[in-house]
Chains A and B, each alone.
Chain A
Amino acid sequence: MSRPPRLAERLLGFLLPAEEREPILGDLEEAFQTLPRGLGRVVWYWGQVVLLGAVLTPERLRRRASRAVPPGREPSGRQGVHTGGGVGMTMGEMATTVARETKITLRGLVRRPGYALLAIITLVLGVGAVTASYGLLTEVVLRPLPYGDVDRLVAIRTLYDSDALGLTEPEYQAVARSADTFESVAALVEPHLDEDWIWTGREEPRPLAAVRVTDAFFTTLRVTPEVGTLVGGESPGERRLVLSHGLWSALGGDPSVVGGSLEINGRSYLVTGVLPAAFEFPLGTTEPEAWILHTPAPAEAGPDLPLAYRGIARLAPGVGIEGAEQQLARIVGELRTSLGDSPGSLLVRPLQTDLTGSAGRALVLLTLSGLLVLLVASVNLSFLMASRNAERREELNVRAALGASRGSLLRHLLTEAGILAVAGGAGAVLVALVAVRGIAEGRIAGLERLSATDIGGGLVAVAVAASLVPALVAAVLPALRASTAVRGLGSRGGSASAARKRSAWILTGVESCMVFALLATAALVLRSLDAVTSVDPGFDTESTLAVTAFRAPASSTPSDGSDAFLTTMEERLGAIPGVDAVGAISNLPLSSESWAGSLVIDGRDDVGTETGGTVVVDWELVSPGYFDAIGIPLLQGRSFDEGDRADAPGVVIINQSLARRWWPDSSPIGARISGGGPLRTVVGVVGDVKQQGLHAGTRGFMYLPQLQVGSPAKQEIVVRVRGADPATVTDRVRTALLETEPGIAIAEVRTLDVLVAEASGPFRLRAILLGAFAAMALLLGTAGIYGVTAHGVRVRSRETGIRMAMGADADRVAMDVVFHALAPVGAGLVVGVALLIVAGPLLRGFLFGVAPTDPLALLVIALVLMAGALAAVAPPTLRARRTDPVAMLTGD
């Protein structure tokens, strides 16, 4: 059961009279719980808050006021109107004054809806951008993970090349023994090496999202169980697991589940406890439903594979991260020397960074862009307010002449800014909420921490600050100037002062610079997206289906040659009309998952000498038909066939990168190599494939024959369809698979096109968000330049009139206007380019196939910005050109 939005609740609590607060909040929550879950009821709740606040707060103020009035005097709404000052005012009087000022200001704003609307839209765009991006940043990166004393937790990884990998078993054991560095050490068994968990003890077996963790995992994190206990038991042979809150609720949420058992992969596991609902451990994949408490039992591992441990540890008191890293370097150095392994380094970093860092940099960039949009909006707002104040200088002068104090004029301007800020801020919160929710519902890779329910507090605080600050600054600066100007009555403001001109020039320049920076970043990211989508993945995506299936564990007993699944499956699926080729692999390309080991080449001791001892080679297990089905070209030698069985000599196929790297001038065929197991003979070379993602480089890769090595439970089955839409055979493929092996669990069916599109997802998201921000900035920037130019033309209209009366040419006047308007834009552009050159290295990580200073992108953006500026300048220029000197000089 989810709660009402916390911030709305708090806000209402503040607005309501103390004696009514609790019961009304209770009533609202009760009504809230009866509504269907979703965005609708959150909006409903906020609506109720606004309504109740609007109706009941004045009631509260009125009561306070009547309490504050001395006995014997009737409370009157008119009290305090003329008292002007804050000192000595009762709360009630102050409220009345504020209410009255608000009413007057509102009336003024309604009379000029254009100005108010423009100011509010400007604020909504600017504040909305920064609020939404900050909302993402706090939710995904900054929100502390729900562990006790999370600052003392670190992640421990091994560095190979520049990849952070898991620890080996001996490394983990050594780390776990270093009691003076760590208070407690635990680990998660890297999921991609043992991901095949099938929940078998039910009518229809289904894949279970499970991960293995060491016994001390939850105690190291200091997680309090919802039910039961989260630690392993005493008897080491017993299989135990902890349920996620979600799975426990799905099972009925009965505490008696603890102590019972769950059958996974045909084995019974004791349920020791249930995690609290708030628990999370972002792994970048599906949220685990079950946490299996790990007791080393090699039989459960994949085919001849060592396990990799993602170490987590709680620093001992007084030990810092650097100290821990030095300690570990020593321990692991000793260990590796004793094992005859070459020394590598261990990486220790805060757990929070380790788990949320991947999305972090992108979101920081996004927030910075949001801030730029806000700055552009603020500059616009100050232009808007300044020109409005200039326009009503007459009105202000009259007010001053009638006895209004400087303070009261200032109060009026501040009230106006406040009203605009509140309206703009409220709009921005709505925009941000909708945007963040939309993104949350999109379930985007890297943003899994974004839960759609808990956005609130910080977000509104940011929105309020982000809209109040610029609005008040924009109001106060001109207001101070306006109220000084008031003293010199009769000043008509015929020509703008040099100082004001200068500040407008600088502001326009700054605005153009920021708009340029945003546009350029967006353009670069867009070009990266374009580059990523045109990357050749190395296989044929057309009319091909990929089916993710999990075999029941008992039937995937490997390598004795008796397993007929692959052969039967290829035969049956191949017999479906329209199907051209069928194959299977343990992990699809672009999945950023693959098995890995250290490369060994028989008779070559130069392997790894330059990288400090180890060369990582990735590998997967394939069926004979795989290369044909997915369209990876065979370049040398042969493919796997039915003869590559357990009793035949060990064979392997390698990719072109590996062949080029180690056999640049000869053929690798016949060489004997290994990626962590026994040596095998290379029988073929195939084309390179993007295994780790479209933007990742291609590494050395090995394919092992499943018929020989054994089949994993997880099978990615690739079905190539002739000409037809692959979706038309989906049902038949399913049926044929179930016929081949009745217990098989089909997890996902999609086309390879979809797979490729998903792989470019992060670039697409960045391009969309930054593109939206850039578009907003361009819109605001153009509006700003228009506003300044139009204002300038209006202010200088007398001067223009005089010039034209003196015989100045209309074209000359127009040129002057254009030049004045575009000079700061040009200056902004120059600074913007310089900025990009400086910030280039920061951007590089987000780009692909394009340099941060890509001349084409920068040139196009500069032209776009100039075109926008010209479009903005055109109408005022035409107006100046048409200035009638006579009308201008006589009419006033």
Chain B
Amino acid sequence: MDLEGGDGVSDRKSIGEFEELVLLAVLRIGTGAYGVPILEEIRGRTGRHVLRPAVYVALSRLEAKGLLSARMEDASDGRGGRPRKLYRVEPAGLEELRASRTALLSMWDGLEAVLDEG
């Protein structure tokens, strides 16, 4: 049994859909991607009600898989003097996204008409 909650679609693919969203959010934000804006980015773009813990779990798993790297930024105002943990997408993460995009696009190829009908 896959305790890691993988989606079982592909052997090669090691991240779930939500992790992919998180990865994309980090990429979109660029420098200064940490918990709060990442959550806002996903909520704002997908309109989904995303639970905060889900984001943190995804971030820590992506970090453990080497798809994201993180560094602590110094204490800052408005956060009780606590540091931000800033994330950056690693080349492996980029590779993962690229593969996922290619796969999805090729699956969609020629199906645009179906969408228009709906």
Using CB atoms and an 8 Å cutoff, list the residues of chain A in contact with chain B: 3-4, 17, 20, 22-31, 33, 48, 51-52, 54-56, 59, 77
Cβ-defined partner of B80 (8 Å) among A3, A20, A54? A3
- Which 6 pairs across A and B sit closest by C-beta, in order of nearness? A26-B82, A23-B85, A55-B53, A27-B35, A26-B79, A29-B80
Given A31-B36, A77-B3; A24-B56 close (CB under 8 Å): yes
When the two chains form their complex, are residues B80 and A52 in contact, meaning their CB atoms are under 8 A apart? no
When the two chains form their complex, are residues A51 and B80 in contact, meaning their CB atoms are under 8 A apart? no
* Seed contacts A51-B53, A52-B53, A56-B57; 12 additional CB < 8 Å A-B pairs: A4-B80, A20-B85, A22-B83, A23-B84, A23-B85, A24-B56, A27-B84, A29-B78, A31-B36, A52-B56, A54-B53, A55-B54
* List of B residues within 8 angstroms of A20 by Cβ: 56, 60, 85
Please list 29 pairs of residues, one from A and one from B, whose beta carbons are closer than 8 Å in the complex, sorted by A's number. Answer: A17-B60, A20-B56, A20-B85, A22-B83, A23-B34, A23-B35, A23-B82, A23-B85, A25-B82, A26-B76, A26-B79, A26-B82, A26-B83, A27-B34, A27-B36, A27-B84, A28-B52, A29-B78, A29-B80, A30-B36, A31-B36, A48-B52, A51-B52, A52-B53, A54-B53, A55-B53, A56-B56, A56-B57, A77-B3
Q: Is B114 on the interface with A (CB-CB < 8 A)?
A: no
* List of A residues within 8 angstroms of B52 by Cβ: 27-28, 48, 51-52
Least CB distance, B55 to chain A, in whole angstroms = 9
Q: Is B99 on the interface with A (CB-CB < 8 A)?
A: no
Given A22-B83, A48-B52, A56-B53; A30-B78 close (CB under 8 Å): yes
Cβ-defined partner of B51 (8 Å) among A23, A27, A51? A51
Contact residues of B between 56 and 100, Cβ < 8 Å to A: 56-57, 60, 72, 76, 78-80, 82-85
Q: For residue A54, which residue of chain B has the nearest CB?
A: B53
When the two chains form their complex, are residues A29 and B79 in contact, meaning their CB atoms are under 8 A apart? yes
Q: For residue B51, which residue of chain A has the nearest CB?
A: A51
Alpha-carbon separation in the docked complex, A31 to B50 (Å)? 14
* List of B residues within 8 angstroms of A28 by Cβ: 52
Using CB atoms and an 8 Å cutoff, list the residues of chain B in contact with chain A: 3, 34-36, 51-54, 56-57, 60, 72, 76, 78-80, 82-85
Q: For residue B3, which residue of chain A has the nearest CB?
A: A77
Q: For residue A59, which residue of chain B has the nearest CB?
A: B57
Cβ-defined partner of A30 (8 Å) among B3, B53, B56, B79? B79
Least CB distance, B29 to chain A, in whole angstroms = 14
Alpha-carbon separation in the docked complex, A33 to B79 (Å)? 8
Q: For residue A77, which residue of chain B has the nearest CB?
A: B3
Given A51-B52, A56-B53; A25-B72 close (CB under 8 Å): no
Least CB distance, B64 to chain A, in whole angstroms = 9
* List of A residues within 8 angstroms of B34 by Cβ: 23, 27
Least CB distance, B2 to chain A, in whole angstroms = 13
Q: For residue B55, which residue of chain A has the nearest CB?
A: A27
Alpha-carbon separation in the docked complex, A20 to B58 (Å)? 13
Least CB distance, B93 to chain A, in whole angstroms = 19
Least CB distance, A374 to chain B, in whole angstroms = 34
Alpha-carbon separation in the docked complex, A51 to B49 (Å)? 14
Q: For residue B85, which residue of chain A has the nearest CB?
A: A23
Alpha-carbon separation in the docked complex, A59 to B36 (Å)? 21
Q: For residue A47, which residue of chain B has the nearest CB?
A: B52
* List of A residues within 8 angstroms of B83 by Cβ: 22-23, 26
Cβ-defined partner of B78 (8 Å) among A23, A33, A52? A33
Least CB distance, B65 to chain A, in whole angstroms = 14
Q: For residue A50, which residue of chain B has the nearest CB?
A: B53
Alpha-carbon separation in the docked complex, A695 to B52 (Å)? 55
* List of A residues within 8 angstroms of B72 by Cβ: 22-23
Least CB distance, A19 to chain B, in whole angstroms = 9
Q: For residue A3, which residue of chain B has the nearest CB?
A: B80
Cβ-defined partner of A22 (8 Å) among B3, B51, B53, B82? B82
* List of B residues within 8 angstroms of A31 by Cβ: 36
Least CB distance, A92 to chain B, in whole angstroms = 14
Least CB distance, B88 to chain A, in whole angstroms = 14
Alpha-carbon separation in the docked complex, A52 to B54 (Å)? 9
* List of B residues within 8 angstroms of A33 by Cβ: 78
Alpha-carbon separation in the docked complex, A27 to B56 (Å)? 11
Least CB distance, A864 to chain B, in whole angstroms = 50
Least CB distance, B57 to chain A, in whole angstroms = 6
* List of B residues within 8 angstroms of A55 by Cβ: 51, 53-54, 56-57
Alpha-carbon separation in the docked complex, A504 to B76 (Å)? 60
Alpha-carbon separation in the docked complex, A55 to B34 (Å)? 19
Alpha-carbon separation in the docked complex, A391 to B77 (Å)? 59
Alpha-carbon separation in the docked complex, A26 to B54 (Å)? 17
Alpha-carbon separation in the docked complex, A875 to B35 (Å)? 59
Given A52-B56, A56-B56, A59-B60; A26-B80 close (CB under 8 Å): yes
* List of A residues within 8 angstroms of B56 by Cβ: 20, 24, 52, 55-56
Alpha-carbon separation in the docked complex, A569 to B52 (Å)? 64
* List of A residues within 8 angstroms of B79 by Cβ: 26-27, 29-30
* List of A residues within 8 angstroms of B3 by Cβ: 77
Alpha-carbon separation in the docked complex, A25 to B36 (Å)? 11
Alpha-carbon separation in the docked complex, A485 to B93 (Å)? 62
Greatest chain B CB density within 10 A among A4, A22, A25 is at A22
Least CB distance, A57 to chain B, in whole angstroms = 10
Q: For residue A1, which residue of chain B has the nearest CB?
A: B78
Least CB distance, A64 to chain B, in whole angstroms = 14
* List of B residues within 8 angstroms of A26 by Cβ: 76, 79-80, 82-84
Least CB distance, A255 to chain B, in whole angstroms = 17
* List of B residues within 8 angstroms of A59 by Cβ: 57, 60
Greatest chain A CB density within 10 A among B54, B60, B79 is at B79
Least CB distance, B78 to chain A, in whole angstroms = 6
Alpha-carbon separation in the docked complex, A874 to B99 (Å)? 75
* List of A residues within 8 angstroms of B54 by Cβ: 55
Least CB distance, A47 to chain B, in whole angstroms = 10
Alpha-carbon separation in the docked complex, A20 to B34 (Å)? 12
Least CB distance, A111 to chain B, in whole angstroms = 27
Q: For residue B59, which residue of chain A has the nearest CB?
A: A20
Alpha-carbon separation in the docked complex, A56 to B84 (Å)? 18
Least CB distance, A507 to chain B, in whole angstroms = 44
Alpha-carbon separation in the docked complex, A64 to B78 (Å)? 32
Alpha-carbon separation in the docked complex, A56 to B53 (Å)? 7
When the two chains form their complex, are residues B82 and A29 in contact, meaning their CB atoms are under 8 A apart? yes
* List of B residues within 8 angstroms of A3 by Cβ: 80
Least CB distance, A48 to chain B, in whole angstroms = 6
Least CB distance, A183 to chain B, in whole angstroms = 36
Alpha-carbon separation in the docked complex, A791 to B46 (Å)? 57
Alpha-carbon separation in the docked complex, A3 to B79 (Å)? 9
* List of A residues within 8 angstroms of B51 by Cβ: 51, 55
Alpha-carbon separation in the docked complex, A23 to B76 (Å)? 11
Least CB distance, B72 to chain A, in whole angstroms = 7
Greatest chain A CB density within 10 A among B51, B52, B76 is at B52
* List of B residues within 8 angstroms of A24 by Cβ: 35, 56
Least CB distance, A713 to chain B, in whole angstroms = 44
Alpha-carbon separation in the docked complex, A888 to B78 (Å)? 71
Alpha-carbon separation in the docked complex, A24 to B54 (Å)? 13
Alpha-carbon separation in the docked complex, A29 to B78 (Å)? 7
